[in-house]
């Protein structure tokens, strides 16, 4: 059976923060690894060109429970829909405490992959269709496909937006916590076709967003959710990437951080720099017993910050309403 795949791995100290919570980025990287394997495997079940599946989109994902060092992460992936050129992979992550046997679902994610030919990496190849268990299941998949397509057309790439350094920022302002990291893309970050794995990028994004959050509230923080991310362009081996994050919104107990990934193809300089990815991460501040803490309100200094705060508030209220509706449906 090619449409299911499972990977399991014990969580080690370098997967976690200083108090032992596994990073959201570590989990996102595992999710993407499983998705890439199953997506690539599926797309190669045809007789034409061999190909590699590139991550095109991750739907919004919530981190439902914390995972800790010493627990085993079980990541199971399944192909749930295929369009002509894209594959939807649904992934579930379960944490297992191997001392007590306790298991918890920590994440559910949906990812979209697009296959590129090994012979010509600019060529998107056709995806072999899957068989659905019923016409209703296929119809549901089609609805998800159409809905993400619509969402993509409405999403702005925020290409013009920059995060500029601030000389002497005041505590709790946007400038005070904004952060960035620079990374040279090496072979171990890349697929067989030499472009960065989406999971590697998401891990770096979570790292920067986490630094922004901890600089703001100076407590232990954890990733609560990541809004849908579209991966606009491939980042090739040898590029220098700058991952920058700034706080956009604070509620009583959560912080929203906007992250940009900009790529600079040094060797093929004629291609020029470009914005590869943007995303919103939400973090929660925790006390020593892992209970959510109030976060210091964000101090807004200029009109743009006020505007982004208002936009963040809309996303916060929408996500909260959706979470509540999901909870009620499950009861």
Q: Nearer to ligand COA by C-beta: 145 or 176?
A: 145
Tell whether residue 242 is a contact of ligand COA (CB under 6 A): no
Tell whether residue 232 is a contact of ligand COA (CB under 6 A): yes
> Is residue 90 within 8 Å of 107, Cβ to Cβ?
no
Tell whether residue 83 is a contact of ligand COA (CB under 6 A): yes
Least gap, CB of 306 to ligand COA (angstroms): 30
Task: Name the residue among 204, 259, 202 with its Cα closest to residue 36.
Answer: 202
Least gap, CB of 85 to ligand COA (angstroms): 3
Q: Nearer to ligand COA by C-beta: 180 or 290?
A: 180
Q: What angle do CA 76, 79, 80 make, to 5 degrees?
A: 115
Tell whether residue 279 is a contact of ligand COA (CB under 6 A): no
Tell whether residue 271 is a contact of ligand COA (CB under 6 A): no
Residues 36-65 that bind ligand COA (CB under 6 A): 54-57
> Is residue 262 within 8 Å of 242, Cβ to Cβ?
yes
Q: Which of 21, 40, 44, 86 binds ligand COA (CB under 6 A)?
A: 86
Residues 122-181 that bind ligand COA (CB under 6 A): 124, 148-149, 152
Q: What angle do CA 70, 65, 177 make, to 5 degrees?
A: 95
Least gap, CB of 178 to ligand COA (angstroms): 22
Instruction: List the catalytic residue out of 15, 206, 227, 262.
Output: 206
Q: Nearer to ligand COA by C-beta: 199 or 312?
A: 199
- Tokens describing residue 273: 């720099």
Q: How many residues bind ligand COA (CB under 6 A)?
A: 24
CA distance 119 to 98: 44
- Is 206 known to be catalytic? yes
Region binding ligand COA by CB under 6 A among candidate stretches 15-23, 37-45, 79-87, 209-217 = 79-87
- Tokens describing residue 199: 């999971």
Tell whether residue 183 is a contact of ligand COA (CB under 6 A): no
290: CB partners within 8 A, 6+ apart: 21, 66
Residue with tokens 């795949």, as numbered in its chain: 5
Q: Which of 17, 180, 230, 290 binds ligand COA (CB under 6 A)?
A: 230
Q: Which of 24, 35, 198, 210 binds ligand COA (CB under 6 A)?
A: 198
Instruction: List the catalytic residue out of 17, 92, 97, 230.
Output: 17
Q: Which of 11, 36, 114, 211 binds ligand COA (CB under 6 A)?
A: 114
- Tokens describing residue 3: 């449409």
- Is 122 known to be catalytic? no
24: CB partners within 8 A, 6+ apart: 63, 206, 210, 222, 223, 226, 281
Tell whether residue 112 is a contact of ligand COA (CB under 6 A): yes
Q: Which of 107, 178, 201, 251 binds ligand COA (CB under 6 A)?
A: 201
Q: Nearer to ligand COA by C-beta: 23 or 57?
A: 57
Which residues of this protein are in contact with ligand COA, per CB under 6 A? 54-57, 83-86, 112, 114, 124, 148-149, 152, 195-196, 198, 201, 230-235
Q: Which residues are catalytic?
A: 17, 206
């Amino acid at each position: 059976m090619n449409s299911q795949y499972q990977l399991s791995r014990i969580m080690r100290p370098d997967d976690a923060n200083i108090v032992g919570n596994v990073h959201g980025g570590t989990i996102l990287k595992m999710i993407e690894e499983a998705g890439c394997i199953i997506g690539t495997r599926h797309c190669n079940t045809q007789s034409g060109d061999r190909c590699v599946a590139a991550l095109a989109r991750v739907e919004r994902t919530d981190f439902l429970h914390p995972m800790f060092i010493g627990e085993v992460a079980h990541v199971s992936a399944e192909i749930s829909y295929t369009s002509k050129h894209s594959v939807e992979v649904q992934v579930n992550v379960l944490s297992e405490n191997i001392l007590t046997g306790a298991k918890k679902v920590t994440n559910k994610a949906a990812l979209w992959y697009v296959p590129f030919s090994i012979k010509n990496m600019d060529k998107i190849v056709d995806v072999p269709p899957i068989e659905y268990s019923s016409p209703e299941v296929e119809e549901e998949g089609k609805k998800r496909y159409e809905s993400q397509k619509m969402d993509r057309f409405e999403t702005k790439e925020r290409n013009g937006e920059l995060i500029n350094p601030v000389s002497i920022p005041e505590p709790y302002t946007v400038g005070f916590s904004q952060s960035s990291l620079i990374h040279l893309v090496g072979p171990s970050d890349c697929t067989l076709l030499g472009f960065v794995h989406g999971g590697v990028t998401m891990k770096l994004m979570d790292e920067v967003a986490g630094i922004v959050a901890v600089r703001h509230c100076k407590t232990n923080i954890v990733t609560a959710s990541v809004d849908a991310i579209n991966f606009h362009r491939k980042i090739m081996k040898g590029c220098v990437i700058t991952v920058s994050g700034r706080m956009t919104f604070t509620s009583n107990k959560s912080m929203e951080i906007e992250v940009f990934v900009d790529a600079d193809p040094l060797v093929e300089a004629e291609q020029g720099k470009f914005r590869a990815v943007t995303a919103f991460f939400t973090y929660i501040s925790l006390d020593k017993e892992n209970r959510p803490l109030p976060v210091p309100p964000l101090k807004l200094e200029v009109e743009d910050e006020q505007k982004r705060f208002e936009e963040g508030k809309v996303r916060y209220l929408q996500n909260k309403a959706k979470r509540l509706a999901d909870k009620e449906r499950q009861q």
